[in-house]
Chains A and B, each alone.
Chain A
Amino acid sequence: RKEVEQDPGPFNVPEGATVAFNCTYSNSASQSFFWYRQDCRKEPKLLMSVYSSGNEDGRFTAQLNRASQYISLLIRDSKLSDSATYLCVVTSEGMTTDSWGKLQFGAGTQVVVTP
């Protein structure tokens, strides 16, 4: 079983609609969680960290469910520019430099926003 699993999609979303997708992780000791965005043939860029209480950044809302071991990302009022692959990233150690080298990446969920 992969450590981090994502639905590859694509999620086809009309412009202005809401889309949500999850990411499951297998290591219950995982401590830090992130969503990265990756455009086609580009590098991943940090979208947002995911906090235990859930957090929002503009149209993006991230949630963490430790009991069921998944994180989610919701995008409201989708824009054409939101079309990308969203990577779920999980660390298993604490906040030390070494832990950042232990990032586990999901394969990504592709979102396609259509006019």
Chain B
Amino acid sequence: DGGITQSPKYLFRKEGQNVTLSCEQNLNHDAMYWYRQDPGQGLRLIYYSQIVNDFQKGDIAEGYSVSREKKESFPLTVTSAQKNPTAFYLCASTDGVQPQHFGDGTRLSIL
């Protein structure tokens, strides 16, 4: 069954800690995206990647980093430089024809 898998569902970060959110897709999509959703706000683009070993900053990339070593995987690291990391993080992918399809998200909170 094709889809996007995000893990973990819930994650807690300690002060000064980097944490990595996983996103894996078996849809054979070239493009993958990371969004952040805060209450009462629309989704905001953090990073996106259209091809392996290449990625671009979105609107709110500061304090985040990504890698795209495999087509199927696009992990997001929330670094200690991100001072307000509490949010719902959503990974999405597309083949460039159909609209983006989302994973079921990771909720990140500060301990």
Contacts and interface: CB of A to CB of B under 8 A. Distances in A.
Contacts of B56: 101
A14 interface: no
Contacts of A96: 96
Given A44-B102, A100-B31, 15 more contacts: A32-B99, A41-B88, A41-B107, A43-B90, A43-B103, A43-B104, A43-B105, A97-B31, A100-B33, A101-B45, A101-B56, A103-B43, A105-B43, A106-B42, A107-B41
With a 10 A CB-CB cut-off, give which of B30, B43, B44, B58 has the most chain A CB atoms: B43
A95 B96 CA distance: 7
Interface in B11-39: 30-31, 33, 35
Contacts of B99: 32, 34, 46, 49, 89, 100
Interface string A31-68: 01010000001111110010000000000000000000
A104 B40 CA distance: 15
With a 10 A CB-CB cut-off, give which of A43, A98, A107 has the most chain B CB atoms: A43
Name the interface size band of chain B.
20 to 34
A97 to B, nearest CB: 3
Interface in B52-111: 56, 58, 88, 90, 94, 96-97, 99-105, 107
A8 to B, nearest CB: 7
Interface residues of A, number: 27
Interface of A: 2, 4, 8, 32, 34, 41-46, 49, 87, 89, 95-98, 100-108
Contacts of B88: 41
B7 to A, nearest CB: 14
Contact of B96 (A44, A100, A103, A107): A100
Contact of B42 (A4, A32, A41, A102): A4
Given A98-B50, A101-B31, A108 B100 contact: no
B90 A100 contact: no
Contacts of B105: 42-43
A106 B43 CA distance: 8
5 contacts: A97-B96, A100-B31, A101-B48, A105-B43, A107-B40
